[in-house]
């Protein structure tokens, strides 16, 4: 973990509620790690997954869902932001036929992972799930590095249904179409993925007090006992997560 002051260099709306924030001055981070940003007037920092990190530039995708993220969506270029960076443990990247599955804003941390695989000469399959066509973001960006499948709950774009239903409909099978999957999204999606196939990695979300393991407020139950999403996670082996 590092405490850094980042400079906001750009704020681009991707959908009515999702914004791409680009910062300079950040240390290198892995796919699946996250940062915590200080927001004016808010007691707790806001944890945001790393979308991309390269050459001192950090890209975060922020969905406007509450007071803190609403303020972040209005930030202007030139703003300095206090941040805790390099938090958590990220995704592995050893698969030879990787499958990446994202739901909603959970698609964001998979972008860096897709790029990592592509730079190794491996082109993954990425399934992006959204509620409707108006909420789709980064489809073209993912397509630079991966084969992309889009699913929308209302059928307004791509497969009609959620990301897991799209996989089942297309007959994806472990060992044949992929050797490991990597996922981030709503808990209901991750739970369904775990039931469908245990050979994967899940990036979990949780309410965090500190973001670096001191408060124990984000603990979850695993086969290894209670583990902190911010410290031992946010990425966990799907076979070890105990859903309640």
Q: What is the CATH number of the domain that holds 144?
A: 3.40.50.80
- Please give the mean pLDDT across all residues of the chain: 94
Q: Is the pLDDT of residue 202 over 90?
A: yes
CA 41 to each of CA 45, 49, 82, 209, 223: distance values in angstroms, whole numbers, following the listed order: 10, 21, 13, 16, 39
Residues 45 and 103 both lie in one domain: no
In a domain, 183, yes or no: yes
Residues 115 and 81 both lie in one domain: no
Residue 201's pLDDT is 98
* pLDDT confidence tier of residue 233, bands split at 50, 70 and 90: confident
Taking the C-alpha atoms of residue 242 and residue 144, their distance in angstroms, rounded to an integer, is 35
Q: Is the pLDDT of residue 73 over 90?
A: yes
Residues 34 and 106 both lie in one domain: no
In a domain, 231, yes or no: no
Write down the residue that tokens 């990036």 correspond to.
203
Q: Which of 45-59, 94-108, 122-136, 209-223 has the lowest mean pLDDT?
A: 209-223
The pair of structure tokens assigned to 155 is 């059928």
Residues 82 and 131 both lie in one domain: no
In a domain, 18, yes or no: yes
The pair of structure tokens assigned to 237 is 């082996």
46-72 pLDDT, tens digit each: 999 999 999 999 999 999 999 999 999
Residues 103 and 190 both lie in one domain: yes
* Entry pTM: 0.95
* pLDDT confidence tier of residue 206, bands split at 50, 70 and 90: confident
% residues pLDDT > 70 (the chain): 98
In a domain, 220, yes or no: no
* pLDDT confidence tier of residue 140, bands split at 50, 70 and 90: very high
DSSP calls for 25-63: SPPP--TT-EEEE--TT-SS-EEEE-SEEETTEEEEEEE
Domain extent, residue 24, equals 2-87
* pLDDT confidence tier of residue 244, bands split at 50, 70 and 90: confident
Residues 83 and 104 both lie in one domain: no
Residues 162 and 132 both lie in one domain: yes
The pair of structure tokens assigned to 68 is 């803190």
Q: Is the pLDDT of residue 209 over 80?
A: no
In a domain, 210, yes or no: no
Q: Are 209 and 44 in contact, with CB atoms under 8 Å apart?
A: yes
Number of compact structural domains in the chain: 2
Beta-carbon contacts of 140 under 8 Å, excluding residues fewer than 6 positions away, are none
Please give the distance of CA 50 from its chain centroid, rounded to a whole number. Answer: 7
Residue 205's pLDDT is 84
In a domain, 211, yes or no: no
Q: What is the CATH number of the domain that holds 8?
A: 2.40.30.10
Residues 42 and 132 both lie in one domain: no
The residue from 67, 87, 107 where one domain ends is 87
14-26 pLDDT, tens digit each: 999 999 999 999 9
């Amino acid at each position: 973990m590092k405490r850094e002051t980042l400079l906001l260099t750009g704020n681009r709306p991707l959908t009515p509620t999702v914004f791409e924030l680009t910062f300079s001055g950040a240390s290198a981070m892995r796919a699946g790690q996250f940062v915590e940003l200080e927001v004016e007037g808010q007691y707790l920092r806001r944890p945001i997954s790393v979308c991309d990190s390269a050459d001192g530039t950090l890209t975060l995708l922020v969905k406007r869902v509450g007071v803190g993220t609403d303020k972040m969506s209005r930030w202007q270029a030139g703003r300095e932001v206090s941040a805790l960076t390099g938090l958590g443990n990220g995704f592995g990247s050893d698969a030879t036929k990787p499958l990446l599955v994202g739901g909603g804003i959970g698609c964001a941390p998979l972008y860096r992972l897709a790029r990592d695989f592509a730079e190794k000469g491996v082109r993954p399959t990425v399934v992006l799930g959204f509620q409707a066509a108006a909420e789709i973001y980064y489809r073209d960006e993912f397509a630079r590095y991966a084969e992309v499948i889009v699913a929308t709950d209302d059928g307004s774009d791509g497969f009609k249904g959620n990301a897991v239903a799209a996989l089942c409909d297309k007959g994806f099978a472990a060992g044949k179409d992929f050797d490991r999957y990597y996922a981030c999204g709503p808990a209901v999606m991750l739970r369904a993925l775990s039931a469908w196939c245990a050979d994967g990695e899940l990036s979990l979300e949780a309410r965090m007090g500190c973001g670096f393991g001191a408060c124990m407020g984000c603990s979850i139950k695993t086969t290894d006992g209670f583990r902190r999403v911010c410290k031992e996670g946010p990425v966990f082996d799907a076979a070890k997560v105990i859903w309640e």
